[in-house]
Amino acid sequence: SPVQLTNSGTAAGGVSDPAVLPGTRLLIVHYQASSQSPASVGAFDLDTAQLDALTPADASGHASANRSGTAIAYGKGGAGTVALKPFQGGLWGAQSNLMLPMTPAARSADDPRYGAVQTIHWDYPEWAGDRRLVVSVQGGDNASHSTYSLSRLAMVELDPGLAQQAGVNYVGRTLE
């Protein structure tokens, strides 16, 4: 039968979307400290049942760990972009944001359908190797990112040495 890992004392607002960090006993999770707080990314230790914040409560979440266990990628909900956080030697490094096309005009260079929307929002990264991410790219009909009329997947190729880089450039294509 299932064994409950978290409870209301862990994160009163909820814990979800676990991703195993390979080579560790950590789950990378999406959580809210309270039902009124924005989401955060945290590391849940399976041995101690301790949850440590990896991001501030800034609408970050939906993290994914790369296969070598050296980095995570996650959505920055409030900013509409994706960030990376390296993990080496048991320590977390500084966050770096992917440099992604953030305007409809810039995004429409790769996919003309994005020229008809008002905002661009990148989220839900999933690793497809240690240097590739598949990311959801939403086209919004209002500035609050609350209504999307277009959502596609894009492949983002990262430069070698991503764990040491601050500001990784986007090289991608839309997947149909």
Burial of residue 11 (CB within 10 Å: 0-12, 13-18, 19+) is buried
The per-residue pLDDT for range 71-104, each reduced to its tens digit, is 999 999 878 899 999 999 999 999 988 888 888 8
Position 99 scores a pLDDT of 84
Given a contact cutoff of 8 angstroms between Cβ atoms, the answer to whether 57 and 42 are in contact is no
CB 109 within 8 Å of CB 120: no
Residue 164 has what pLDDT?
40
Name the β-bridge partners of 40.
31
Q: What phi, psi does 156 have (nearest 5°)?
A: -110, 120
Please list the ranges in the chain whose pLDDT falls under 50: 163-176
DSSP 105: H
Res 146: pLDDT: 63
Q: What is the pLDDT of residue 14?
A: 85
Q: How far is the C-alpha of 51 from the C-alpha of 38, rounded, in Å?
A: 16
